[in-house]
Amino acid sequence: MQLSQVIQPNNRPPPARILHLEDSELDQELVRVLLKNASIDCEIVVVLTREEFVRHLSLGNWDLILADYSLPSFDGMQALEIARKTCPTTPFIFLTGTIGEDVAVESLISGATDYVLKQHLKRLVGCVRRALNERAERMRRLQAEANLKVREEQFRFLAYHDSLTNLPNRVLLQDRLMQALSNATRRSEKVAILFIDLDQFKIVNDTLGHSAGDQVLKQVAERLERSARSGDTVARLGGDEFLLVVNGVKDTTDAAVAADRVKQGMAARFTCNGTELSTTCSIGISIFPEDGSDSETLLKNADSALFNAKDNGRNQWRFFTPEMNRLARERFALENALRQGLAKEQFFLEYQPQFEVSTGRIVGAEALLRWRHPEEGRIPPNRFIPFAESTGEIIPIGAWALRTACAQARQWQVEGMPPLVMAVNVSAVQLRRDTFIRSLQTVLNETGLAPQLLELEVTESLLLSNADLVVSLFESLGKIGSKLAIDDFGTGYCGFSYLRRFQFSRLKIDQSFVRSVATDPREAALTATIINMANILGMKVIAECVETEEQVEALRSLGCDQFQGYYFSRPLSAAAFAEKLRAHAASLAGGPDPSVLSKPQRGCPRSLAFGDRG
């Protein structure tokens, strides 16, 4: 729907257009002079015959008609009748010398505005001025009414449509969906609800700006409308969420075909201010009546299916299953508890020692985020961190973790322990914020920790998907003096060219390699390649999740620089870490630390940003 433009009144109106029906040249000139001398700004067009009169009426928009009553070819009453039919709102004044009182009354009853006898021409100026003013006021009133009607139409449209894409909004969607379900029930048909969400659309807004994001959303709306059939409804729910209501569905195959059409429509690249970019979408599907008998249930179930599609890799569609409802309820409860966890002091940090192979000394610690839920107890990081990142709660939680870890590292120094490098995981969500580096500098200043004793860990996946962000981070950290390490190396497709481009302080070998390094020659060969590559580039190599003596020996023989894992120590509280550090220092003075060589504690949990390390 194209919204009409409200016509703004012109502050300087054009000259009044007057059509003068008069056969006497003397009277024509007399009228012209009178109006000119009265400073009435007007343009007078004279016609003599019925044919000319009719033709001119059809050609223009006249502000006033002056007409003689007695004409050679027809009379003034005929002219009045023609004018009332052609332009009923235009004032009509008889200017004549032959009209009688009865005829004058009849003309006024028939629609004439006024009459002026030629022997009393002084009245003409007043009559013309009054008629033009009344017409101007009437036209202003009509225009105001037209503008009001246009605005009402606009407000009515915006009440039911999204202002950015002009697609139906939630209000109109509910009405369309109720109609679709009613029609499907009457015809014994099915309706498919496709809940569509753009994958990682936040990156577009963060990197190119919200204006570019709006352009993409408009193009997405256009593509969705093209992919929809006649009679289906495409709506925007808000943000990067859209909904497609597919009517007349026979079975799930029809819904799958519709979902594939949507995905194919998203395949072509988008253009924003000359920049080309691509994005994918995830789709959750619910079917009426199997997955719900009302619109609210169908939308909720489609949303659950959408989350499942995103949780399983994105860029795909998933049908709703009852099991998703249970997961959705758990997710909702967990997200609500997560938002309150920081304020209720449910989060805490544990610290896992990092050992240097050549000296056996503890040279660092990794800060690991923990959540003690009031009902469920300790919740694994791989369960709550993804929620924290998707909801944005990772920003305040991550800021708290960074400050707490830096303060603790400094506190150990105050207590007389040797300086250690504190490794802290940071999320891509944190790094995308313009204020991250400034906040980091503030934390270092306020805690008193030397910048070179802080090492931020980023995942290999972040390096692959946000290389420009990592470049900026390197430049900023270089000015501050802190370090940057690459975590979980080997889980993605990051190659030598990436490592050569970024001078990381340390490279952490993913536990998937460590687990098999002592038993699988191929894994050992790959691990040796990673270590050699890092050594060539001047990086230290640390292996995480080291659990067995066989893994220790294998990694030592391959030239690994540092170890971290349950073989040496599980993650510890700050007090327990300090005690271990003291005991370890004392043991090094009199021989090997028995705690380092003790039987390992098995069960290294799965690695994740902010999660447990083994």
- Tens digit of each residue's pLDDT (9 = 90 or more) over 215-251: 999 999 999 999 999 889 999 999 999 999 999 998 8
Whether residues 152 and 32 fall in one domain: yes
Q: Are 133 and 218 within one domain?
A: no
Tell whether 434 is covered by a domain: yes
Whether residues 383 and 271 fall in one domain: no
Over its C-alpha atoms, the chain yields an Rg (Å, rounded) of 41
Q: Which of 387, 288, 267, 287 is nearest to 338 (CA)?
A: 387
Report if residue 335 sits inside a domain. Answer: no
Residue 338: inside a domain:
no
Flag whether the pTM goes above 0.85: no
Looking at the structure, tell me whether residues 385 and 506 fall in a common domain: yes
CATH at residue 352? 3.20.20.450
Considering its fold, how many domains does the chain have in total?
Answer: 3
Q: Are residues 226 and 369 in the same domain?
A: no
Q: Are residues 112 and 228 in the same domain?
A: no
Higher pLDDT, 252 or 325: 252
Query: Using CA atoms, how far apart are residues 381 and 427, in angstroms rounded to an integer?
Result: 13
200 and 261 together in one domain:
yes
- My answer on whether 115 and 217 are in the same domain is no
Look at residue 591 and tell me if it is in a domain. yes
Q: Is residue 48 part of a domain?
A: yes
- Same domain for 152 and 176? no
pLDDT digits (tens, 9 = 90+) for 142-181: 889 988 888 888 888 889 999 999 999 999 999 999 999 9
- Per-residue confidence (pLDDT) for residue 275, from 0 to 100: 81
Contacts 24+ apart (CB under 8 A), 172-177: 172/235, 173/233, 173/235, 173/237, 173/243, 173/245, 174/295, 176/233, 176/235, 176/245, 177/233, 177/245, 177/295, 177/298
pLDDT digits (tens, 9 = 90+) for 79-99: 999 999 999 989 999 988 767
Are 488 and 370 contained in the same domain?
A: yes
Give domain status of residue 360, yes or no. yes
Residue 68 lies in a domain: yes
What the block records as the tokens of 488 is 């979980």
Percent of the chain with pLDDT over 90: 53
Q: Amino acid identity of 607?
A: S
Q: Is 161 a domain residue?
A: no
Q: Nearest Cα to 530, choosing from 503, 558, 553?
A: 558
In tens, the pLDDT along 436-476 reads 999 999 999 999 999 999 999 987 666 655 666 677 777 88
**CATH code for position 37:** 3.40.50.2300
Residue 138 and residue 253 share a domain: no
CA neighbor of 429 nearest in space, from 386, 478, 367, 489: 386
Residue 267's domain comprises 170-320
208 plus 316 within the same structural domain: yes
